[in-house]
Amino acid sequence: MGLSFHYKGRLTSASELNTFVEEVEDICKVFDWKFSVLKTEYPNDKFVSPLNEDDYGVIFTPEECEPVTLIFDSEGRIYNPWMKDLIAKHDEGQVKVITVQLNLDDEELNPIFTEDSEDFDPLDMVYTVSVKTQFTTAEQHMKIIELLRYISGKYFSDFEMIDESGYWTSRNPEKLDAKLNKVTEFIDRFEDMVSSEVIKSPEDFLKFIKKLSQEIKDKEK
């Protein structure tokens, strides 16, 4: 639970991988972010197809934020290797995927539960990276988004970003602060209430979410 952003895309040129990684490293050093480097060169500076098992790129971790993974497969696509493993287990019947979506801007605050369905696209999940930033500052969130804006414009193609804070499209710090405050308030209230609730089924959880939503709306009034 928390504020996140989601992105996908691909490296435009295999020959630019090393330059890309070095530039991200330099930026991380300026911001004092931890980072980890994977393979930095493609064989003969060319993408490899069919896919092999090698991972290329870099991962960096801003303070109080989930890791931002810029890992590419051998064909140059940004992907999530951990999700790939999870989907493989799902296909083997070892994991069941259930998602809960709640839009805090929704007047009714009705959660949407989704289990396995025809709309479930495993590859879309593998090639979409999600990063939670709710526990970091608005300033830090902006730095991450602006970094991705810069490097995606310079090195990526077919790049798509969904920023739940709205900052990617608005570039408005005030709206970002308001969204972060709203999410923080929701999570604080969630933690206060859930400790006293007995939840034994998805139906119980749904009732709890609706109760929580009503309390928040009443408080806002």
Average pLDDT, the chain: 81
CB neighbourhood size of 123 (10 A) = 10
User: Does the pLDDT of residue 4 top 60, yes or no?
Assistant: yes
Question: pLDDT tens-digit profile of 17-55?
Answer: 999 999 999 999 999 999 999 999 999 999 999 988 899
Contact call for residues 173 and 141 (beta carbons, < 8 A): no
Owning domain of residue 204: 4-220
pLDDT at 129: 93
Question: pLDDT tens-digit profile of 134-174?
Answer: 678 888 999 999 999 999 999 999 999 999 888 999 998 88
Apex CA 190: angle with CA 185 and CA 192, to 5°?
100
User: Does the pLDDT of residue 131 top 70, yes or no?
Assistant: yes
Q: How many domains does the chain have?
A: 1
- At residue 216 the predicted structure's pLDDT band, cuts being 50, 70 and 90, is low
pLDDT at 12: 97
Q: Which helix (H) or strand (E) holds 68?
A: strand 68-72
Contacts (Cβ under 8 Å, ≥6 apart) of 84: 126
CB neighbourhood size of 120 (10 A) = 14
Q: Distance between the two ends of the chain, CA-based, in angstroms? A: 25
The single residue listed with the structure tokens 């989930």 is: 66
Measured CA to CA, the distance from residue 104 to residue 109 in angstroms comes to: 6
Helix axes 202-220, 173-194, angle to 10 degrees: 130
Measured CA to CA, the distance from residue 136 to residue 143 in angstroms comes to: 11
